[in-house]
Amino acid sequence: MLKIYGVYRSRATRPLWLVEELGIPFEHVLVIQGYRLPEPMAPGARVNTLSPEFLAINPMGSIPSMDDDGFVLHESLAITLYLARKYGGELGPKDIAEEALMVQWSLFAATSVETSALKISSTAAGGKADTEEGKTEIDVAARLLKRPFDVLEKHLSKNSHIVGNRFTAADINVAEVVRYAQAYAPLFDSRPALKAWIEAAQARPGFKAMWDKRTAEPA
């Protein structure tokens, strides 16, 4: 059986959203980030990214990881693209060109968007958004996101989705990175196509099911 290691409050949301869309059976193996525990190596501590049993699966100690009947894979974007290609139907690539585009946009999100978007998310989550320091951090991150968000706006003003004009794993990978910047509304208010696209993605039953489980998970 397919196993996904991780928790919802991590990048595991990407494959966990996809399996909600696919409706395939899987085992969710709870592995929390070690830094979230006061003593991750203490006897009786819950399984975490520093636990020997998890390091035997992923020596980098990062989540998520996946085991699909013995095929082990790490990195959330790679896992999502693999699952989409194997199980995805319309959510996966129809040909080699679509597969390449899904990889391209997933890497674009990871390299051009994620770092600055995460800065916005962490600043807001840390309660600093209304402080002078926080405003400066968000302003810098928003400026760095201008070009990639303009690229997405232009693409989505001409296309209903990231690849193939239908909802695919590429939308999940990109949306789950772009989501980190949603704490700063002006980035989206000035880009109506991007805003409409991510709102539509997050209105899907698959996202809502994943998000409900993430919300129920202890912070």
CATH 3.40.30.10 assigned to domain 2-90? The reply is: yes
Residues spanned by CATH 3.40.30.10 within the chain?
Answer: 2-90
Express each pLDDT in 100-143 by its tens digit: 999 999 999 999 999 999 999 999 999 999 999 999 999 999 99
DSSP annotation of 56: T
Residue % of the chain over a pLDDT of 90: 99
CATH 1.20.1050.10 domain extents, the chain = 93-204
Over residues 66-82, the pLDDT tens digits come to: 999 999 999 999 999 99
CA distance 156 to 186: 18
The residues with which 66 forms a beta bridge, in sequence order, are 4, 73
What pLDDT, on a 0 to 100 scale, did the predictor assign at position 219?
85
Asked if the 93-204 domain carries CATH number 1.20.1050.10, the reply is yes
> 3-class SS at 6?
strand
Q: What is the CB neighbour count within 10 angstroms for residue 25?
A: 8
Position 103: which residue type?
V
What confidence tens digit (pLDDT) does each residue in 180-219 have?
A: 999 999 999 999 999 999 999 999 999 999 999 999 999 8
